[in-house]
Amino acid sequence: MIKIIVACLLCAAAAPAVAEEEVFRPEALAPAYLPVSRPALEELTAALRGKMKTLGLNGKNKTSRALLLLPRDRSAAGALSFEIEKGERAGIYQCEALGRGETAREPRERWERALIDGATIYYAPPTLPGGATVPGVYDLRNISPEVYDVHFLNKADEALLARTARPKKTPKKAKRRFSAVWSHWYPKNSPAVPVDMTWAADAQAGTQGQGLPVFERPPHGLTPEQGSLRARQLAADPGYYRGPYGRHGFAVHTDRWEDPERLADPAYEGRPEKKDFRWRDTSGCVKLRPACLELLNEFIAEQEGKKRRVQLEVYETPLLDGLPAEQPSAQHGEAAGGQQQD
């Protein structure tokens, strides 16, 4: 009887500790506003650091995660958060991000209708190829030449080919990976590299990716070049084409809209992408500004160096729908708009 009483007392004493254990809530990282007319990394990061010292997402079960909050209305921007542990740039970070699908100005069957600064757009939903980024968990890897062989889907100049070429000295036993990329994913004034996103089938429990249909779409009507690229991709990763709703080819990348040459080029005068981040094309990938992608590259490299699996959790929340572009107390300036150009 005494043993039973002692056991009950021990259980009662332990109960408050369990009750007080904090459960991470993705919504806790939601910003109060999201600027779209200027780079917002510094001000979003300052606001986040004003609320917390650490995200607590690194090193759990030998896994580290970044968190991407996206609105249900993907015409709007979302917010990416992650934490660098060591070095001159140690700390938590937050920046603006896009996760919209392929976008057009004319309606298409099954596409979502939305507005950007009063202009009507239509974009592919998550269930379709090229659609909005699917919520769930992805494994992240920097598409760096030390690990990846790349094939450019459009013309790349000699400088970019040299920048992405396999180094002469690489570990002999290191597994080589492969990715098809676009040259405009590499800004000329930034060392940032794209990030490969692959669906983490074993990590979806308890996330918005749990229970989603995962399968591989059989290829149809491939050109010889497309067939060759598919073969190279399968040789590097046999499960590459298996993903949510049969989708694949996810990546985190940036663009060249902030390159000085493009900003000064008369051919791009009046383009809305220069003034409003929401107009930049994503086609189902995650779009960042160059400075934030550089930091994300550093986060991934650091965590891989600690022998940790690096992941991105994509979380969709209505808290970001209709979020103001300026601090609620500030005067709202006039936003730029225009036509989406992929």
Is pLDDT of 328 > 50?
Answer: yes
Residue ranges making up the domain that contains 118: 55-140+187-212+247-320
Helix or strand run (H / E) with residue 243: strand 242-244
| Displacement of CA 243 from its chain's centroid (Å) | 16
Tens of pLDDT, residues 159-207: 999 999 999 888 777 889 999 999 999 999 999 999 999 999 999 999 9
Residue 67, in any domain of the structure:
yes
Specify whether the CB–CB gap between 70 and 99 falls below 8 A.
yes
| Displacement of CA 334 from its chain's centroid (Å) | 28
Residue 308, in any domain of the structure:
yes
Spatial distance between the Cα atoms of 311 and 161, rounded to a whole number of angstroms: 28
- How many structural domains comprise the chain? 1
Residue 7, in any domain of the structure:
no
Residue 256, in any domain of the structure:
yes
More confident residue, 81 or 282: 81
Average pLDDT over residues 293-304: 98
pLDDT of residue 330: 58
Residue 171, in any domain of the structure:
no
- Using pLDDT thresholds of 50, 70 and 90, give the confidence band for residue 116: very high
Considering the entire predicted model, what is its pTM? 0.89
Specify whether the CB–CB gap between 103 and 74 falls below 8 A.
no
Tokens found for residue 72: 């249900």
Tens of pLDDT, residues 16-27: 444 444 678 999
Cβ of 270: how many Cβ atoms within 10 Å?
10
Residue 150, in any domain of the structure:
no
Region for 303 from its dihedrals, namely left if φ exceeds 0, alpha if ψ lies in -120 to 50, beta otherwise: alpha
3-class secondary-structure state, position 17: helix
Give the lowest-confidence range in 87-91, 157-161, 309-313, 336-340: 336-340
Spatial distance between the Cα atoms of 166 and 177, rounded to a whole number of angstroms: 11
Tens of pLDDT, residues 236-273: 999 999 999 999 999 999 999 999 999 999 999 999 99
Tokens found for residue 325: 């572009």
* Of residues 70, 57, 68, the one with CA closest to residue 22: 57
More confident residue, 183 or 334: 183
pLDDT of residue 174: 80
Residue 130, in any domain of the structure:
yes
pLDDT of residue 5: 46
Average pLDDT over residues 210-231: 96
